[in-house]
Chain A
Amino acid sequence: MQPESRGLEVAVLVSVGRHPVTGRARRADQDARGLELALSLAAFRPDSRVRLLHAGQRDDDNETALRGYLGMARGVGTGLERLTLLEQPEGADVVPALAERLAATPPQLVVTGARAEQGEGSGLLPYVLAERLGWPLVNGLVEVESIEDDRMTLLQALPRGQRRRIQVRLPAVVTVDGAAAPARQSAFGPARRGSIKVEAALAVPDEAFAGWTLSPARKRPRRLKIVKSASARDRFKAAAGKAQGGGGQLLTDVTPEQAAEAILRLLEEEGVMR
């Protein structure tokens, strides 16, 4: 936080998301959280600049969604007045284009969401970029705690709301977890004013992806409790019977201790008392 410290150059890779219910194009949730996090870095390095980078097709739907990120600008000077779109044909692998761009003008920090909301959504992109750039990668970022020189201390999300403190050396690639601070509201005005700078870029077709069959997700079959019992009756009951303890058990006229026992038993069964 020394006054002479340079601002941080942050590149936020943003994608076009899909709303989970309607599938409409929107700013992707994790990418937006990533941008929020990048904007919060100004608290550590006041002169930090955020670069918005997207590689993909250019069409109306995508543009509306991408403007969602521009709408997060508050005031001038944050770098959010412009989004660079590396134009890619349909079915292109965006990694080469992004890697080329990032290697040409390397930022100190690359922020992305954990995975895309459409297409393969494998979440591999940040890893491949980190590999190509030779930078360390930290996944599941929730919060940046401090930045000193070229070291950034951050919190990583673990399951069940737990957190781990990690220090990483910059330049680095970080992916943002869904538990990071939610993105601010995208405002119409700045979104409308912001410019999208379309640039030509390396276009490598994703041939493997083209060969795959895509279909809407099927519901996965629920695994039955496998009961290795000798008794046919027990096996039948396990397969066809209702789950134990269900069906609205009602305890009246019990002592508080009995009630507590019953509740604890259910909590144990459900495995939340760990």
Chain B
Amino acid sequence: MPETLLPILIFSALALAVIGAWRRIRLWRQGRPAEVDLLQGLAAMPRRYLVDLHHVVARDRAMSHTHVATAGGFVAAAVLMILVHGLGWTNPLLGGGLLVASATMFVGSLFVAKRRCDPPARLSRGPWMRLPKSLMAFSGGVFLITLSTLGLLPVEAGHWLAALVLAGLVTWGLGELFLGMTWGGPMKHAFAGALHLAFHRRPERFSAKGGGTGRSTGLKALDLDDTAVPLGVETPGDFTWNQLLGFDACVQCGRCEVACPAFAAGQPLNPKKLIQDMVVGMAGGSDANYAGSAYPSPGLGGKPVGEHSLERYGSPHGPIVAREGTALVDAGTLWSCTTCRACVEECPMMIEHVDAIVDMRRFLTLERGNTPGKGAEVLDNLIATDNPGGFDPGSRLHWAADLDLPLMADVQQAEVLLWLGDGAFDMRNQRTLRALVKILRAAGVDFAVLGTEERDSGDVARRLGDEATFQSLARRNIATLSKYRFQRIVTCDPHSFHVLGNEYGDFYPQGRDGRYDVAHHSTFISELHEGGRLTFRPWKGGSVTYHDPCYLGRYNGEYEAPRKVLAALGIQVAEMARSGFRSRCCGGGGGAPITDIPGKQRIPDMRMNDVKETGAELVAVGCPQCTAMLEGVVDAGAEVRDIAELVAEALVEHSTTQGTVRASRPATEEAIP
């Protein structure tokens, strides 16, 4: 009987799966077109899966092995099953392989089941709780049927009851694994995930055999010249199709939820829920079936689930964020994000949460004019004064009146262009800038500043969704920069660093190529020290920890240089539990302090608690935002100092003769080749 039943089951499951796939693809195709090299993507997919995805998954060893066993076993078992049972190739070799594969899968699913016994809060429940059983049903069923097919079963397998049970198991398994893959069960992640990897909107973020950067963090530009392009995302259909595909790949593992600082602070954001809401928006229905942690809500345990839906207003393609009342997502959810990328860094499916959030923010700001908190004021200031504080742009260099900084306008060229950032208006950050100038002078660096020609880099405007103001600032800054010759830009502001280095590339005038060579001051100081141009007194203070700024670390991969500088100062860094790529945000990014969405606690307070746990008396930082946020914590145990300040204090000044030797610097070249 199995010989006749199994092929029917298998091929009808496959056929249904294909129909489901076609329907799923139609859902994705609601999105706007995106330029994707389909063939190349498909070709690169296995490598992206095996190398990049597993690089992330392998951070959890046990889960990684479980997944290898289960998924590997399943893929092998599925292929062999089609050959053996579907096409009837009862070759002992293939059958043996099928036995091994299904046994491996069964072992893997035991581990999956074990994890589901008492699952951590981050895991979604609901259909996901049934998945290990389905996996076991499939693998166990296939194993036994294969045994009987190969005649290895000692008992006569023709017993109709056993056969019926086995057929039931296999049907269940096929239903979950084949149909569920394309019709929307937990296994959807395999189908959508594979295609998502192939057609990812940031192909450059994957490693390449030839060695790529493997990092792509700059936001994608919005084409403002083409009035047909929607300004941001209003409805799910305003996402590009591969973004929608990406949302569908989510496995609801909740790693993002654990990493998200806003979620931990009780602000109404949970990246996992957000992605699931996007899936709801694409596929229809409400979020009632969501079975994970809700958006936190001050006062309540969490926002109630089931009230949010696109269909609330009668249209399945209505706005994601309602003008009034609730639709799919509340605006506060989008504005809680600090754009720290901790979720993106943790996501094993390589989903781009921050891109999606900024896309939706763009609509709220550019079309609705609904930037919350002090957002509107900050954007108006940026438009009118080129800095978020509304200060007189002519006073940008007032803090340095006594420093006699060389101006680019006077010297026309310099080895290093020192980008001051908007911290130049902040009295706290001026101390850092003074320290940095002292260091550069001590090392005899040939540097100059733009002075009053400098403008805000546009970071805040862009994260607040005001792409128009960002592009205006970027274009004008590029025009200013292109007047002068310098080798690299050094800045103590990681936000400027990121924007200048990673996001200005889209706005270079025609005929220019390449990127500015931008360095964070910690990188530059580290190089100066390695080049023997700086000498430090040994550190005499107490224990020190280091806080990785998101825009330096996760956005630009610079984890080493600041630690090298601290080591050169003789400081042994007492690392926080969350440091490096897992560093917790200070709460200052993405305009979060401007939009100021209330939560049950503040992000910087949590971060200073992390500091306290290390017992450090001082926390070294490398970002004006982090300094401001962490220093704003009341009754903090630790002092907050910028790396530049620590270096400047420990500096042993060289005699002037050495300084003049430095004058024989390499000839200045044009910044952009």
Asked if A and B form a direct contact in the complex, defined as CB atoms under 8 angstroms apart, the reply is: yes
Nearest B residue to A71 via CB reads B369
Q: Is B539 located at the chain interface by the 8 A CB criterion?
A: no
A-B CB contact pairs (8 Å), 11 listed: A19-B384, A19-B385, A21-B384, A22-B384, A24-B383, A74-B368, A185-B371, A187-B368, A188-B466, A188-B468, A189-B367
- The reply on B581 being an interface residue by CB < 8 A is no
User: CB of B393 within 8 A of chain A?
Assistant: yes
Known: A21-B391, A72-B369, A74-B368. A185 touches B383 (CB 8 A): no
Write out the residue numbers on chain B whose beta carbons fall within 8 Å of the beta carbon of A189.
Answer: 231, 366-367
Taking the closest CB of chain B, its distance from the CB of A102, in whole angstroms, is 28
Q: Are A74 and B390 in contact (CB under 8 A)?
A: no
Q: Is the CB of A190 within 8 A of B367?
A: yes
Most buried by B among A72, A184, A189: A189
A49 sits at the interface (CB 8 A) = no
As a 0/1 sequence over residues 148 to 172 of chain A, the CB contacts with chain B under 8 angstroms (1 = contact) are 0000000000000000000000000
A192 at interface by CB-CB < 8 Å = yes
B392 touches A186 (CB 8 A): no
- Which residue in chain A gives the minimum CB-CB distance to B231? A189
Which residues from 368 to 390 on chain B have a C-beta closer than 8 Å to any C-beta of chain A? 368-371, 375-376, 379-380, 383-386, 390
Instruction: Report the nearest B residue to A72, measured CB to CB.
Output: B369
Bound complex: CA A50 to CA B81 (Å): 71
Q: What's the Cα separation between A21 and B425 when bound, in Å?
A: 15
Task: Tell me whether B369 and A186 are in contact (CB under 8 A).
Answer: yes
Please name the 6 residue pairs, one residue from A and one from B, whose CB atoms are nearest each other, closest first: A187-B369, A185-B376, A185-B369, A189-B367, A19-B384, A188-B366
14 other A-B residue contacts (CB within 8 Å) besides A185-B371, A192-B227:
A21-B390, A21-B391, A22-B385, A22-B386, A22-B392, A26-B380, A74-B323, A74-B369, A185-B369, A185-B380, A187-B369, A188-B231, A188-B365, A190-B369
- A192 CA to B229 CA in the complex, in Å? 13
Size category of the binding interface on chain A: 10 to 19
Query: Interface 1/0s, chain A 75-99, versus B by CB < 8 A?
Result: 1000000000000000000000000
Q: Which of A19, A26, A188, A192 has the most CB of B within 10 A?
A: A188
Q: Which residues on the B side are within 8 Å of A72 (C-beta)?
A: 369
Q: How far is the CA of A22 from the CA of B396 in the complex (A)?
A: 13
Q: Which residues of A contact B231 (CB under 8 A)?
A: 188-189
Q: Considering the chains assembled together, what is the distance between the CA atoms of A186 and B380 in angstroms?
A: 9
Q: Which of B367, B383, B384, B391 contacts A187 (CB 8 A)?
A: B367
User: Which residues from chain B contact A186 at a C-beta distance below 8 Å?
Assistant: 369
Which B residues are closer than 8 A to A by beta carbons?
Answer: 227, 231, 323, 365-371, 375-376, 379-380, 383-386, 390-393, 466-468
- Proximity bits, A40-77, B CB within 8 Å = 1, else 0: 00000000000000000000000000000001101100
Whole-angstrom distance between the Cβ of B68 and the nearest chain A Cβ: 48
Contact status A21-B468, CB under 8 Å: no
In the assembled complex, the Cα of A84 lies from the Cα of B296 at a distance in Å of 48
> In residues 185-215 of chain A, which contact B (Cβ within 8 Å)?
185-190, 192-193
A24 in contact with B370 given A185-B376, A188-B466, A188-B468 (CB within 8 Å): no
CA distance A186 to B371 in the complex (A): 10
Provide the bound-state CA to CA distance between A26 and B390, in Å: 14
- Among candidates A21, A187, A193, residue contacting B365 with C-beta atoms closer than 8 Å: A187
A185 and B366 form a contact (CB under 8 A): no
A75 to B392, CA, bound (A): 35
CB-CB under 8 A from B391, the residues of chain A are 21
The reply to whether B367 and A21 contact each other, CB–CB distance below 8 Å, is: no
Q: Which residues of A contact B (CB under 8 A)?
A: 19, 21-22, 24, 26, 71-72, 74-75, 184-190, 192-193
Write the chain B residue with the least CB distance to A64. Answer: B383
Chain A residues whose C-beta falls within 8 Å of the C-beta of B385 in the assembled complex: 19, 21-22
| Complex-state Cα separation, A26 to B206, whole angstroms | 45
CA distance A22 to B391 in the complex (A): 9
C-alpha spacing A164/B159, complex, angstroms: 95
- A34 nearest CB across to chain B (Å): 17
| Complex Cα gap A74–B364 (Å) | 11
Contacts of A75 in B (CB 8 A): 323
**Cβ-defined partner of B366 (8 Å) among A22, A26, A187:** A187
Chain A residues whose C-beta falls within 8 Å of the C-beta of B368 in the assembled complex: 74, 187
Bound state CA distance, A21 and B387, in angstroms?
12
Q: Is A185 a contact partner of B379 (Cβ separation < 8 A)?
A: yes
Query: CA of A70 to CA of B402 in the docked complex: distance in angstroms?
Result: 46
- Chain A residue with minimal CB distance to B466? A188
* A71–B366 CA distance with the chains assembled, in angstroms: 9
A198 to B223, CA, bound (A): 28
Return B501 CB to nearest CB of chain A, in Å: 26
| Contact across chains for A21 and B392 when beta carbons are under 8 A apart | yes
Determine the distance from Cα of A189 to Cα of B468 in the docked complex, in whole angstroms: 10
Determine if B370 and A185 form an interchain contact, defined as CB atoms under 8 angstroms apart: yes
Q: Find chain A residues with CB under 8 A from B371 CB.
A: 185
Contact A22 B468, CB 8 Å, known A72-B369, A74-B368, A185-B371 = no
Inter-chain CA distance A21–B383, complex, in Å, is 12
Question: Min CB distance, A191 to chain B, in Å?
Answer: 9
Q: How far is the CA of A36 from the CA of B371 in the complex (A)?
A: 17
Give the distance to chain B from A43, nearest Cβ to Cβ, in Å: 14
Q: How far is the CA of A74 from the CA of B367 in the complex (A)?
A: 8
Contacts of B392 in A (CB 8 A): 21-22
Complex-state Cα separation, A188 to B383, whole angstroms: 12
Given A21-B385, A26-B383: A184 in contact with B369 (beta carbons within 8 A): yes
A190 to B231, CA, bound (A): 10
Name the residue in A22, A74, A186, A193 with the highest tally of chain B Cβ atoms < 10 Å from its Cβ. A22
- The residue in A24, A71, A186, A187 that gathers the most chain B C-beta atoms within 10 A of its C-beta is A187
Q: Measured between C-beta atoms, what is the minimum distance from B218 to chain A in Å?
A: 21
* A contact residues around B468 at 8 Å (CB): 188
Tell me which of A24, A188, A190, A192 contacts B384 (CB under 8 A). A24
Q: Is the CB of A22 within 8 A of B393?
A: yes
Kindly state the separation between the CA atoms of A240 and B384 in the bound complex, as whole angstroms. 41
Between B380, B391, B393, the greatest number of chain A beta carbons within 10 A of the residue's beta carbon is seen for B380
Complex CA gap A259/B391 in Å reads 37
Chain B nearest CB, measured from A219 CB (Å):
15
Q: Which residue of A lies closest to B384 (CB)?
A: A19
Of the listed residues B323, B379, B384, B385, the one surrounded by the most CB atoms of chain A closer than 10 A to its CB is: B384
Could you tell me if A26 and B384 are in contact, using CB atoms closer than 8 angstroms? yes
How far is it, in angstroms, between the C-alpha of A26 and the C-alpha of B231 when the chains are bound? 22
Once the chains are docked, how many angstroms separate the CA of A75 from the CA of B323?
Answer: 10
**B594, chain A: closest CB distance, angstroms:** 13
| Residues on the A chain within 8 Å of B227, using CB | 192-193
State how many angstroms separate the Cβ of A185 from the closest Cβ of chain B: 4
**Residues of A contacting B380 in the complex (Cβ-Cβ under 8 angstroms):** 26, 185
How far, in Å, is A83 (CB) from chain B's closest CB? 16
Residues of A within 8 A of B365 (CB): 185, 187-188
Closest B residue to A24 by beta carbon equals B384
Residues of B within 8 A of A193 (CB): 227
How many Å lie between the Cα of A75 and that of B370 in the bound state?
13
A183 closest partner in B (C-beta): B376
| Of A19, A21, A24, A185, most B-chain CB atoms within 10 Å | A185
Q: How far is the CA of A184 from the CA of B370 in the complex (A)?
A: 8
Return A94 CB to nearest CB of chain B, in Å: 24
- Bound state CA distance, A190 and B468, in angstroms? 13
Give the shortest distance, in Å, between B640 (CB) and chain A (any CB).
28
Distance (Å) between the CB of B394 and the closest chain A CB? 9
* Alpha-carbon distance A22/B390, docked complex (angstroms): 9
B371 and chain A: residue at smallest CB distance? A185
The distance in angstroms between the C-alpha atoms of A2 and B13, with both chains bound, is 64
CB-defined contacts of B384 to chain A, threshold 8 Å? 19, 21-22, 24, 26
Contacts of A190 in B (CB 8 A): 367, 369
Closest chain-B Cβ to A104's Cβ sits at a distance in Å of 32
The residues of A that contact B383 with a CB separation of less than 8 Å are 24, 26
Cα distance A272–B393 when bound, in Å?
Answer: 34
What's the Cα separation between A189 and B467 when bound, in Å?
Answer: 11
Q: Which residue of A lies closest to B393 (CB)?
A: A22
Q: Which residues of B contact A71 (CB under 8 A)?
A: 369
**Cβ-closest chain A residue relative to B390:** A21
Quote the shortest CB–CB distance from A40 to chain B (angstroms): 15
- CB A109 to nearest CB in B, in angstroms, measures 24
